[in-house]
Amino acid sequence: MYHKSLEDITALPKPSRKSNQLDESLPNSYDNSSTPSPPSSSFSDVEHVRNLSKSVPSFLLDENDGGESDSTSEYNSQSGMRWRNGRTHTNLSSNSASVSSVSGSVMSVYSGDFTSVEVQGTIQFSLNYVQKLKEFHIFIVQCQNLAAVDAKRNRSDPYVKIHLKPDSSNLGKRKTSVKKRTLNPVYNEILRYRVRMEYLKTQILNVSVWHNDTFARNSFLGEIEIDLSTWDFGNTKINSSYLKSRNTNSLQPADDRGEMRLAIRFLPQLTHSKAVPNSGEVHIWVKDCKNLPLIRGATLDPYVKCFVLPDTSKKSRQKTRVLKRTTNPVFNHTMVYDGFRAEDLKEACVELTVWDRDRLASHLLGGLRLGLGTGKSYGVNVDWMDSTPEEVALWEKMMDLPNEWVEEVLPLRMVTAAKNTRK
């Protein structure tokens, strides 16, 4: 990877360059005759959270340079990607079968058995946004008449899990304690998110109930989904809802994540690589972003990360610098990938994601994918070949106009970065 300034951006590159105890004032904010007890599990202890589940909230994990898993490295060795002097030599067609190793890379929110029991019963809860703390509180009261996973003894070991959609990877999941051997668990626990109200109103709250199995996969007992863009946050009364089966046609949240101005070009037969003869370069000029969404605080420290899929290895990753305290960053940063042949453009996909750098972790703000959006790469079905019509149009324009910069302002959307291979 190398970085160019705005002045030399149009010049051809030289081939050799390269939680939770309750606040004393909080019970009065809920319309409930009984005072809820403090949650029994704390998310302030990282090791405690790790012991609760293999799926640790991402705010406890650092999105850094050193977290690549073995599967990522193995994929790089199979994919035909070649590297020299820090620049990308891409022979994407050398092993199309390896694409399947990342086709399932989208991170699943669920990790359990959805078919073992019939969904039944209700859940009682209330929602409250505490302006003073800038915290979203979900008060889980109880569940009633849940399905019995152990039909012989007519009992389950239920707990409640929540996450915000589509940003479950950003703000993480929250869980109640597990109640043993009951179909009518009483929790009286508050699960919290520190998040701004403007951002919260772009989300869907998913509340699901699960049976905890120590030695096997947890069983799904039902869920509800709440569109927070239309929720009356003045209503802090206890609500009761019937649990539903897994929502395959789930609610779609508002998706205003700002926009990115960028230019791209393809320079055919520019390099003289023995490994990839008659290959060229793809240049990605990230100019700026505007109106990035605020998640946690009053400002952001944004940066952009890029992969050329199907390669999700660490060596494929290129990043801009981090800009401090702005929702409208100007990057003027060029990323160069070489070793491209014209036919590779039909199979590859440029994934650009915008992140907010925090002390503990980086939080995904949004992204886009430039490709043909066919759903396939080298004949293999992949979930990341999902470009929108606007993204496809820019990629096709680049293919039709070799050697020329093509520019567009594209809306950012929620993408689950295909690089997510951390276990």
Percent of the chain with pLDDT over 90: 44
∠ CA 396-400-405, nearest 5°, is: 85
Whether the per-residue pLDDT at 42 is higher than 90: the answer is no
H or E element: which one contains 368? strand 362-370
Whether the per-residue pLDDT at 51 is higher than 70: the answer is no
Domain count, the chain: 2
Q: Among 148-157, 273-282, 374-383, whose mean pLDDT is lowest?
A: 273-282
Q: What are phi and psi of 312, to 5 degrees?
A: -115, 20
Mean pLDDT of 153-168: 87
Mean pLDDT of 59-66: 35
288 and 148 within one domain: no
217 and 206 within one domain: yes
Structure tokens at 12: 């051809």
265: DSSP letter: E
What confidence score (pLDDT) does residue 362 get? Answer: 81
82 and 121 within one domain: no
What confidence score (pLDDT) does residue 272 get? Answer: 59
Whether the per-residue pLDDT at 47 is higher than 80: the answer is no
Does residue 421 form part of some domain?
Answer: no
Whether the per-residue pLDDT at 408 is higher than 80: the answer is yes
Percent of the chain with pLDDT over 70: 65
What confidence score (pLDDT) does residue 140 get? Answer: 96
Q: Among 51-60, 105-114, 341-350, whose mean pLDDT is lowest?
A: 51-60
Question: Which pLDDT band, with edges at 50, 70 and 90, does 416 fall under?
Answer: confident
329 and 237 within one domain: no
379 and 318 within one domain: yes
What confidence score (pLDDT) does residue 251 get? Answer: 55
Does residue 4 form part of some domain?
Answer: no
Residue span of the structural domain in which 24 resides = 19-61+111-245
Cβ atoms of 405 and 262 within 8 Å: the answer is no
- The average confidence (pLDDT) of the chain is 74
What confidence score (pLDDT) does residue 267 get? Answer: 92
Does residue 251 form part of some domain?
Answer: no
CA 386, 390, 393, 395 torsion-angle sign: negative
Question: Which pLDDT band, with edges at 50, 70 and 90, does 275 fall under?
Answer: low
Does residue 182 form part of some domain?
Answer: yes
Most confident of 108-117, 164-173, 307-316, 400-409: 400-409
The model's pLDDT over 178-204, given as tens digits with 9 standing for 90+, comes to 999 999 999 999 999 988 888 888 888
What confidence score (pLDDT) does residue 180 get? Answer: 94
Most confident of 34-43, 57-66, 287-296: 287-296
The CATH number linked to 381 is 2.60.40.150
Question: Which pLDDT band, with edges at 50, 70 and 90, does 168 fall under?
Answer: low
How deeply is 173 buried, as exposed, middle or buried, from its count of CB atoms within 10 A (0-12, 13-18, 19+)?
Answer: buried
Higher pLDDT, 108 or 306: 306
Please identify, among 245, 269, 290, the residue that sits at the C-terminal boundary of a domain. 245
237 and 199 within one domain: yes
Q: Which of 275, 266, 335, 269 is nearest to 82 (CA)?
A: 275
What confidence score (pLDDT) does residue 312 get? Answer: 83
What confidence score (pLDDT) does residue 119 get? Answer: 92
Whether the per-residue pLDDT at 282 is higher than 50: the answer is yes
What confidence score (pLDDT) does residue 257 get? Answer: 83
Please identify, among 199, 222, 245, the residue that sits at the C-terminal boundary of a domain. 245
DSSP assignments along 179-242, one per residue: PPS-SS-EEEEEEEEE--HHHHTT-EEEEEEEE--SSS--EEEEEEEEETTS--TT--B-EEEE
H or E element: which one contains 397? helix 389-400
401: DSSP letter: S
Does residue 2 form part of some domain?
Answer: no
Does residue 177 form part of some domain?
Answer: yes
167 and 72 within one domain: no
Question: Which pLDDT band, with edges at 50, 70 and 90, does 86 fall under?
Answer: very low
What confidence score (pLDDT) does residue 169 get? Answer: 59
Query: Using CA atoms, how far apart are residues 146 and 333, in angstroms rounded to an integer?
Result: 54
What strands lie across the sheet with 406-411, from one edge to the other?
Answer: 81-84, 87-90, 330-340, 280-290, 259-267, 406-411
Partners of 205 in the β-ladder: 164, 226
Does residue 8 form part of some domain?
Answer: no
Please identify, among 187, 218, 245, the residue that sits at the C-terminal boundary of a domain. 245
176 and 92 within one domain: no
Query: Using CA atoms, how far apart are residues 75 and 370, in angstroms rounded to an integer?
Result: 21
Higher pLDDT, 27 or 221: 221
The model's pLDDT over 384-397, given as tens digits with 9 standing for 90+, comes to 999 999 999 999 99
Cβ atoms of 205 and 251 within 8 Å: the answer is no
237 and 89 within one domain: no
Question: Which pLDDT band, with edges at 50, 70 and 90, does 223 fall under?
Answer: very high
217 and 100 within one domain: no
423: DSSP letter: -
What confidence score (pLDDT) does residue 63 get? Answer: 40
Does residue 6 form part of some domain?
Answer: no
pTM over 0.85: no
DSSP assignments along 309-331, one per residue: ET--SGGG-EE-PPPPS-SS-EE
307 and 162 within one domain: no
The residues near 201 (Cβ < 8 Å, ≥ 6 apart) are 228, 229, 254
What confidence score (pLDDT) does residue 205 get? Answer: 93
377 and 330 within one domain: yes
What confidence score (pLDDT) does residue 423 get? Answer: 32
Mean pLDDT of 116-131: 91
